[in-house]
Amino acid sequence: MIDLILWGLLISAGIAFWRLIVGPSVPDRIVAAGTLSIILTTTLVVLSLVFHSDLFLDVALAFALLAFVDVLIMAKYFEHGELHR
């Protein structure tokens, strides 16, 4: 059962990764990167259920934080062309 959930998450991550590669403009790629980060966070939580380990939860928390700051900085850089405003 949990294999089915992992396969569904993997397929949706693959589709979003296709948009990340192909995407015609820069904000499309930023949207795809945010989507991929959320899908990978949920995948880490499901993997902590599979392996009965709490380590994956810590990694998922840090990854969610880093992905949030990452998307914010990418959007700000796309808006201004520089970072210090």
Partner 1 sequence: MTGGIIRAISYMLMLLGVFFSLASAIGIVRFPDVYTRLHAGTKALTGGALFILAGAALQADSWQSAAKILLIAGFLLATNPVSTHAIARACYRHGIRPEPSHVDHYARTVKKGRSRWTLP
Binding site for partner 1 (CB under 8 A): 1-2, 4-5, 8-9, 11-13, 15-16, 18-19, 25, 27-28, 30-32, 34-35, 38-39, 41-42, 45-46, 48-49, 52, 54, 57-58, 60-61, 64-65, 68, 71-72, 75-76, 78-79
- Residue 5 CA to residue 72 CA, distance in Å, equals 29
- Residue 53 CA to residue 56 CA, distance in Å, equals 6
- Residue 43 CA to residue 7 CA, distance in Å, equals 10
CB of residue 35 vs partner 1: minimum separation in angstroms? 5
